[in-house]
Amino acid sequence: METILITGGSGLIGTSLCELLADRGHQVIVLTRSPSSAKRKFDPAIKNISFAAWNIDKGNIDEDAILRADHIVHLAGAGVADKRWTRRRKKEIVNSRVKSSELLLNALKRTAHKVKTVASASAIGWYGPDPSIPNPHPFRESDPADNHFLGETCRLWEQSIQPVTDLGIRLVILRAGMVFSAKGGAFPAFKNPLKFGIAPILGNGRQVVSWIHIDDICRLYLAALERADMRGVYNAVAPEPVNNKTLTQTIAHFFRGKNFISFHTPRFAIKIALGEMSVEVLKSATVSCDKLRDAGFHFLYPSLDSALNALKNS
Ligand SMILES: NC(=O)c1ccc[n+]([C@@H]2O[C@H](COP(=O)([O-])OP(=O)(O)OC[C@H]3O[C@@H](n4cnc5c(N)ncnc54)[C@H](OP(=O)(O)O)[C@@H]3O)[C@@H](O)[C@H]2O)c1
């Protein structure tokens, strides 16, 4: 049994991961901006989850929590798709990741900690759009960061946590695709319109979505902590990316049978509604999970059908 400190442990991935780790008998410490609201996200019956506070703007962090940790999972960051990308919001998206990494790093530098591993989130927003040639080569971990906002954010984010390796700590970075969970994130955005019998395809629907089921991303964080042979960057995506049209219509069939109407939402309408963020919604990104599979990771939900079956029953 080990102690795992999780920043952003109150979020979509964090809550599931905390429960998985607690279930395995580990002690979990959620490092949060608000212990009282983070606490409300968890079943009080789970005894081995506790809470500690940090304030990224003020540079305050609970050092006792750092001293107790054997491993750190760094998930904290302002939601990329939660609000329109104004200049202020973009700054918050970057700073919440980079300044939080710096705060962790400084705490690790000044304490006699015993941290062996840091597993940090990143995203496939690192990559640019697929090249416009048929059957493009899927993006691999060694491909360079895109020069748009998300690519640059991911580059700064990964760069900010990298110096933990200078402290002798093993670092694993998981560049996650769209995480499918029944509890939040992108999946309800596909499912909710089906209440009205509609399945809106975004743009021409040909843009490829690289995704991963919530249980697989949590199992992957667990593997990153448990397996000393894992280090560096891994794309955290399932082996079967699908395009937006197939994704939208497969979800619709799953939940509505034949009782839905599908239509294309024009690009200009998406651009008006989302502003700059529309680039990401309309971007095709075919991302490879070969490195993960070569490392022996076994997906519970490799196909869209297997993931949707699990989501339907969760
Ligand atoms: N979900 C996905 O599809 C997906 C895909 C790729 C990458 N990721 C990345 O994986 C990480 C976890 O994802 P998630 O979906 O679980 O995210 P989430 O639900 O938005 O949770 C992120 C957590 O970060 C903390 N946070 C929010 N705003 C913050 C701010 N301004 N400053 C500092 N901390 C802040 C919050 O914890 P407290 O309020 O407790 O402090 C929040 O619970 C994120 O960094 C995300 O970008 C997610």
Q: What is the mean pLDDT of residues 212-236?
A: 98
Q: Supply the pLDDT for residue 181.
A: 98
User: 54: part of which helix (H) or strand (E)?
Assistant: strand 49-55
Name the token pair of 228: 């000393």
Helices 149-161 and 87-110 pack at an angle, to 10 degrees, of 10
pLDDT reading at 235 higher than 90: yes
Please tell me the predicted confidence (pLDDT) of residue 179: 98
With the CA atoms of 58, 118, 78 and 302 taken in that order, what torsion angle do they form, in degrees rounded to the nearest 10?
Answer: -170
Whether ligand 1 lies within 6 angstroms of the CB of 212 is answered as no
pLDDT of 118 strictly over 70: yes
Ligand 1: which residue has its CA nearest to atom 40?
32
Tokens at 85, concatenated? 């990308």
Ligand 1 pocket check: which of 12, 15, 149 to mutate, most ligand atoms within 8 Å of Cβ? 12
DSSP one-letter code for 287: B
314: pLDDT strictly greater than 90: no
What's the mean pLDDT in 190-211? Answer: 96
Establish whether residue 178 lines the binding site of ligand 1, counting it when its CB lies within 6 angstroms of any ligand atom: yes
pLDDT of res. 272: 93
* pLDDT reading at 133 higher than 80: no
Query: How remote is the C-alpha of 39 from its chain's centroid?
Result: 21
Query: What is the per-residue pLDDT across 59-105, written as a single tens digit (0 to 9) for each?
Result: 999 999 999 999 999 999 999 999 999 999 999 999 999 999 999 99
Whether 209 has a pLDDT exceeding 70, the answer reads yes
List, for residues 260-309, the tens digit of each pLDDT value.
999 999 999 999 999 999 988 999 999 999 999 999 999 999 999 999 99
For residue 116, the CA-to-ligand 1 centroid distance in Å is 23
Q: In angstroms, what is the span from residue 75 Cα to ligand 1's centroid? A: 6
Reduced to 3 states (helix: H, G, I; strand: E, B; else coil), residue 49 is strand
Average pLDDT over residues 132-143: 85
Separation between Cα atoms, residue 302 and residue 292, nearest integer Å: 12
The residue whose two tokens read 């989850």 is 49
Q: Whose CA is nearest to atom 38 of ligand 1?
A: 32
Which of 15, 18, 33 has the most ligand 1 atoms within 8 A of CB, as the residue to mutate? 33
- Residue-wise pLDDT tens digits, 7-52: 999 999 999 999 999 999 999 999 999 999 999 999 999 999 999 9
CATH class of 3-181+210-239+286-301: alpha beta
Q: What is the mean pLDDT of the chain?
A: 96
For ligand 1, the distance from its centroid to the CA atom of residue 302, given in whole angstroms, is 24
Neighbours of 64 (CB within 10 A): 11
Give 21-41 as a DSSP string: HHHTT-EEEEEES-HHHHHTT
Residue 79 Cβ inside 6 Å of ligand 1? The answer reads yes
Distance 145 CA to ligand 1 centre (A): 21
Rounded CA-CA distance 269/113 in Å is: 51
Is the CB–ligand 1 distance for residue 278 below 6 Å?
no
pLDDT at 135: 66
- Taking only Cα atoms into account, the Rg of the chain, rounded to an integer number of angstroms, comes to 19
Site to substitute for ligand 1 among 41, 75, 220, most atoms within 8 A of C-beta: 75
Q: Is there an atom of ligand 1 within 6 Å of 76 CB?
A: yes
Q: Is the pLDDT of residue 137 over 90?
A: no
